[in-house]
A and B are shown apart, each in its own frame.
Chain A
Amino acid sequence: MTSYQSILDWINYPDPMINPYYPFGDIYNLPYDICYKLWEIIGGTIAWLINLIFPGNSVSTWLVCDMTTNFFALILFMVVIFLVVFVGVLISLWEERKVLGRAMDRRGTMIGMMGFLQCVADGFKTFMKDNIQTKKGDNMTYIWTVSLIIGTSMLIACMIPLSDRWFVVNYDTGLLIIMALYALAPFFILVSGWSQNNKYSLIGGIRAAEMMVAYEVPMLIIIATASLLAGSFNIGDIVQAQYDTMPYIIPMCIGFVTFFLCATAEAERSPFDLAEAESELVEGWQTEYAGMKWGLIMLADYMRGYVSCAMITILFLGGWDLPFIGDLNNVMPEIVFLLKTWFVFFLMIMLRCAVGRVRTDTILNLGWKVFMPLSIVNLMIVLILKVGGIF
Chain B
Amino acid sequence: MTMDYLDKYRDGRHKSWKDLWIMKPIVVVTKVFNKTVVHRPVTVLYPYESLWEPDNYRGRPALDFNKCIGCGMCVRMCPCTAIILVDCPDDEGNNVERPQVNMGRCAFCGYCAEYCPEDAMTVTPIVELAEYTRSDLIYGPRRLAYDHTTEGMKVKLEETLISDYKAGNGEKRYLHSKIDRPELESSKCISCKKCFKVCPAKAIVMTEHGKNAKGRPILWPEINNETCVSCNNCVDACPKQALHMKEVL
Q: Which residues on A are within 8 Å of B, measured CB to CB? A: 99, 101-103, 105-107, 110, 350-351, 353-355
Q: How far is the CB of A102 from chain B (nearest CB, A)?
A: 5
The reply on B25 being an interface residue by CB < 8 A is: yes
CA of A355 to CA of B30 in the docked complex: distance in angstroms? 12
Which residue among A101, A105, A106 has the maximum number of chain B CB atoms within 10 Å of its CB?
A105
Q: Which residues of the other chain, B, contact A353 by a CB distance below 8 angstroms?
A: 29, 33
Chain A contact residues, majority secondary structure:
helix
The reply on B42 being an interface residue by CB < 8 A is: yes
Q: Select which of B26, B28, B41 is within 8 A of A106 by beta carbon.
A: B41
Given A354-B22, A355-B22; A106-B42 close (CB under 8 Å): yes
Given A354-B22, A355-B22; A103-B42 close (CB under 8 Å): no
Interface residues of B in 30-83 (CB under 8 A from A): 30, 32-33, 36-37, 41-43, 45
Is B25 within 8 A of A99, CB to CB? no
Is A354 within 8 A of B25, CB to CB? yes
Given contacts A106-B41, A107-B45, A355-B25, 16 further A-B contacts (CB under 8 A): A99-B33, A102-B33, A102-B37, A102-B41, A103-B32, A103-B33, A105-B32, A105-B42, A105-B43, A350-B29, A350-B30, A350-B33, A353-B33, A354-B22, A354-B29, A355-B26
Q: How far is the CB of B22 from chain A (nearest CB, A)?
A: 5
Q: Select which of B25, B26, B30, B41 is within 8 A of A101 by beta carbon.
A: B41
Is B22 within 8 A of A107, CB to CB? no
CA of A362 to CA of B17 in the docked complex: distance in angstroms? 22
CA of A109 to CA of B36 in the docked complex: distance in angstroms? 15
Among residues of A, the one whose C-beta sits closest to the C-beta of B36 is A102
Q: How far is the CB of B82 from chain A (nearest CB, A)?
A: 36
Q: Which residues of the other chain, B, contact A102 by a CB distance below 8 angstroms?
A: 33, 36-37, 41
Among residues of B, the one whose C-beta sits closest to the C-beta of A106 is B43
Q: List 25 A-B contacts (CB under 8 A).
A: A99-B33, A102-B33, A102-B37, A102-B41, A103-B29, A103-B32, A105-B32, A105-B36, A105-B41, A105-B42, A105-B43, A106-B43, A107-B41, A107-B43, A107-B45, A110-B45, A350-B26, A350-B29, A350-B33, A353-B29, A354-B22, A354-B25, A354-B26, A354-B29, A355-B26
Among residues of A, the one whose C-beta sits closest to the C-beta of B40 is A107
Which residue among B30, B33, B36, B45 has the maximum number of chain A CB atoms within 10 Å of its CB?
B33
Q: Which residues of the other chain, A, contact B30 by a CB distance below 8 angstroms?
A: 350
Q: Which residues of the other chain, A, contact B42 by a CB distance below 8 angstroms?
A: 105-106
CA of A295 to CA of B53 in the docked complex: distance in angstroms? 42
Q: How far is the CB of B35 from chain A (nearest CB, A)?
A: 8
CA of A107 to CA of B32 in the docked complex: distance in angstroms? 13
CA of A191 to CA of B36 in the docked complex: distance in angstroms? 44
Q: Which residues of the other chain, A, contact B45 by a CB distance below 8 angstroms?
A: 107, 110
CA of A110 to CA of B37 in the docked complex: distance in angstroms? 15
CA of A110 to CA of B33 in the docked complex: distance in angstroms? 17
CA of A106 to CA of B46 in the docked complex: distance in angstroms? 13
Among residues of B, the one whose C-beta sits closest to the C-beta of A103 is B33
Contact bitstring B73-105, A, C-beta under 8 A = 1, else 0: 000000000000000000000000000000000
Q: Which residues of the other chain, A, contact B41 by a CB distance below 8 angstroms?
A: 101-102, 105-107
Which residue among B25, B29, B45 has the maximum number of chain A CB atoms within 10 Å of its CB?
B29
CA of A26 to CA of B80 in the docked complex: distance in angstroms? 84
Q: How far is the CB of B104 from chain A (nearest CB, A)?
A: 32
Q: How far is the CB of B46 from chain A (nearest CB, A)?
A: 12
CA of A351 to CA of B21 in the docked complex: distance in angstroms? 13
